[in-house]
Amino acid sequence: MSDFLRRFAKDFAALDKDSLERLGELYSDDALFCDPLHEVRGLGNLRRYFAQLYANVSDLRFDFYGFDQVREGEGYLRWTMSYRHPRLANGQLIRVEGCSHLLWNGKVHRHRDYFDAGALLYEHAPLIGRLIRWLKRRLA
């Protein structure tokens, strides 16, 4: 079990729109952050990305429950993200399971998130959400 992963998860979960200057404590200046929807390079761009994210959602929360170090400086975090967006799911709380693959050397220099983008976003959009739900039923 990794102390680094637990500490990173605790500090990451504590972030909000008013504490993004703390990203420099977690990420290196040349950090690469990727998820199914974005690729962000560099600490300055990462701050802008998170500022935009926090501006568009409310009740954003990460609950971390898995801390798996595979070797020195590499590991995975498993989490549930919860959030509300006024234009998705009628403002209802949306929950998505995911995991993060991290590489670090003192600070994280590569962060890759894995999650279902449909469950995060598309299934909750007014028009495309109905189509995706219909397709899922047809394929089941």
pLDDT score at 108: 98
Distance, C-alpha 114 to centroid of its chain: 8
Residues of the chain with pLDDT under 70: 1, 87-89, 91, 117-140
User: What kind and span of H or E run contains 107?
Assistant: strand 107-115
pLDDT at site 88? 64
**pLDDT value for 128:** 57
User: What pLDDT score does 134 carry?
Assistant: 61
What pLDDT was estimated at residue 34? 96
Instruction: Specify the pLDDT at position 36.
Output: 86
Q: What is the predicted pLDDT for the residue at 55?
A: 82
- What does pTM read for this prediction? 0.82
Closest CA to 50 of 11, 15, 92: 15
| pLDDT number for residue 136 | 60
Look at residue 140 in the predicted model and tell me its pLDDT: 64
